[in-house]
Structures are given as C-alpha cells and as structure tokens.
Amino acid sequence: MINRGCLPLDWQVDLGHGGRWTSWRAGDREWLWQNPLVPAAERHRARPGAAFIDAGGAEECFPTIRGLPDHGDAWSRPWSGTNRSAAVDIPGNGTLRRTIADGPAPEITYRIDGRPGTSFLHALHALLAVSSRAVLDIPDAKRMTVLDDLDPERWWPSGLDRLSAADGTAVCAIVPDVRRAVIIDGDDRLELEWDCAESPELCSLMVWRNLGGWPPQSPYRSIGIEPMVGRAADLASAREGSCPVVGPSGTFRWSVRLSAR
C-alpha cells in the first residue's frame, strides 16, 4: 500500500514523440534516467517501424515488448489528446488510452480498445536514475524467468535485486504474480503498484538490469523497472495464456500508481 507520507511526484510527458514520460520528480530527486548518448533530435526523427531509440525516460511498450517492432509500436507514434488524457492508435492492434490522475501519488489508468479476442502485451518501461547502491524490493516475488538464458527458471532474487555498478553484464527477467515494487536508493524510495481486475494473474514485473553489457557496440548502464500485464516479452512467440486478451466488451483496463519519499 502506498505510504501516506509520500512526497508529491511531478511528471512530464512528450505526446508528440511516443507519449514518453520524460520526468518523475519528487523534491530534488529525478527518478527517470535520460540517455546522454542519444540526442533529442535523433528521437524526434523516429517513425513507425524504425529501430528502437533508447532515449531513456519511461516508454509505453505496446502491443509487444520485444520482437517486431522492438519495444512495441506506440513509442514511435505521436499521441493525441492532452498530457492527462491521451491515446495512440496502433493499426491492427487497437487503441491504447492513458489517463493520469494528479495527486501526491499519481495514478495511471490504461484502457486498450480493440477487437474482442485480440492478444497483446503492455509494459511501462521505466528506466530509472539510480546509484550503484540501489536495491529493488519485490515483496511478493517467488520465481522469475530469465530471458535469453539456458537455465531460465530461478528463485527471486538470485542477486538481481542489487542494482550495482557497471560490470559488463545485462540481464532481463520477468517476475510473475506481483503487483508491487520498491526501489530503495539511500534515503530515497520509489514505489510502483499496479493491478488488473480483468486478469490479475497476468500482473508481472520485467526487470532490465543492464550493467554495461548492452548494446554490444557501445554499452552503458541502464536500469529498467517495468510493471506489465503479461508473462512474456514477445507477442509473436508467447505461449497460450501468457498474454492479456481484449474481452467481449472490446476493452481491457489496468492501472499503475507511483509514489516517492
């Protein structure tokens, strides 16, 4: 549960360039990381189908996370609406709508409108500006699936909770059946809570701990903490039952809440 003593969290988004979150600021602390190697102009040139441009911030990865297009099809398209209520149309997959309720702990409500029976994945791909002493706490975590590994099934945390200094490694994992994550960095804490009444069993967290192991040609350190609905990363290769599905009403909803202290 979100702590009542939380700091007001101010946010900014860029609707013209993928609806990307560009700031989560609480007091003097900026929680979103920006990639110093990617000029703003490079991101502004992105078009649907382009290779992903890792500018940092927090991206809406929909209707897939990995696969084609990489990081989904929403990040490269302009969104319409206002900062607090915006939408993006993805041909063949439907419309992703995002509503942000202001307050000390902003609540984000997502609604996917599409043809009943349409499968998808959706993650809030947040890259965080954290130090090498930061720790990730997932209170209800038990198991995780490590992607791109010959031995993928492991117990959480198996060391992945330590968001350490660059050591040349990069690990991506999906932690299923969780709805809360807390990032602790010294005296600062960022808490994310998410829920989905329609498919609660598909609430998961993707963890991207890149400690200078990616990309191969010019690696850097980046930490992704990603609330999601689904238990897969690639929509095209996902196993049956691992992806949310638009119901008979033609809509699917889930939500994320942010708080900091």
- Give the CATH number of the domain where residue 245 resides: 2.70.98.10
Mean pLDDT in residue range 172-193: 99
| Element housing 114 (H / E) | none
Task: Say how many residues make up the chain.
Answer: 261
In-domain check, residue 143: yes
Question: What confidence tens digit (pLDDT) does each residue in 139-178 have?
Answer: 999 999 999 999 999 999 999 999 999 999 999 999 999 9
Binned at pLDDT 50, 70 and 90, residue 2 comes out as very low
Q: What is the pTM of this model?
A: 0.96
Q: Using one digit for the tens of pLDDT, what is the confidence trace for 198-230?
A: 999 999 999 999 999 999 999 999 999 999 999
Provide the pLDDT for residue 21.
98
Question: Is residue 138 included in any domain, yes or no?
Answer: yes
- Best CA proximity match to 145, nearest among 121, 172, 164, 120: 172
Predicted local distance difference test score (pLDDT) of residue 41: 86
Retrieve residue 133's tokens.
Answer: 């002493």
Residue range 49-63, pLDDT digits in tens = 999 999 999 999 999
pLDDT at 1: 47
The pLDDT value recorded for residue 4 is: 56
Q: Would residue 149 count as lying in a domain?
A: yes
The number of distinct structural domains making up the chain is 1
DSSP letter (8 states) at residue 8: P
Q: How far apart are CA 159 and CA 162, in angstroms?
A: 6
pLDDT of residue 170: 98
Mean pLDDT of 4-11: 87
Q: How far apart are CA 130 and CA 30, in angstroms?
A: 9
Q: Are 248 and 99 in contact (CB under 8 A)?
A: no
Q: Is residue 4 part of a domain?
A: no
Neighbours of 185 (CB within 10 A): 19
Residue 3 lies in a domain: no
pLDDT tens-digit map of 109-137: 999 999 999 999 999 999 999 999 999 99
Per the CB < 8 A criterion, the answer to whether 158 and 142 are in contact is: no
Residues 75 and 91: their CA atoms lie apart, in Å, by 14
Please state whether 117 falls in left (phi above 0), alpha (psi between -120 and 50) or beta: left
The arithmetic mean of pLDDT across residues 168-191, rounded, is 98
Q: Are 63 and 123 in contact (CB under 8 A)?
A: no
User: Based on the number of CB atoms within 10 Å of its own CB, is 240 exposed (0-12), middle (13-18) or buried (19 or more)?
Assistant: exposed
Query: Do residues 87 and 97 make contact, with C-beta atoms less than 8 angstroms apart?
Result: yes
CA separation for the pair 73, 91 (Å, rounded): 9
Query: Predicted confidence band at 5 (pLDDT cuts at 50, 70, 90)?
Result: confident
Residues 142 and 156: their CA atoms lie apart, in Å, by 5
Average pLDDT of every residue of the chain: 96
Q: How far is CA 144 from CA 32, 55, 200, 241, in A?
A: 25, 27, 17, 17
d(CA 73, CA 71): 7
pLDDT of residue 6: 86
- Give the residue-averaged pLDDT of 55-84: 98
Q: Does residue 42 form part of some domain? A: yes
pLDDT in tens, 239-255: 999 999 999 999 999 99
Q: Which domain, by its residues, includes 241? A: 9-260
| Domain contains 2 | no
Would 1 be classed as within a structural domain?
no
Instruction: Kindly tell me if the per-residue pLDDT of 81 is higher than 50.
Output: yes
d(CA 219, CA 221): 7
Task: Please name the amino acid found at residue 112.
Answer: I
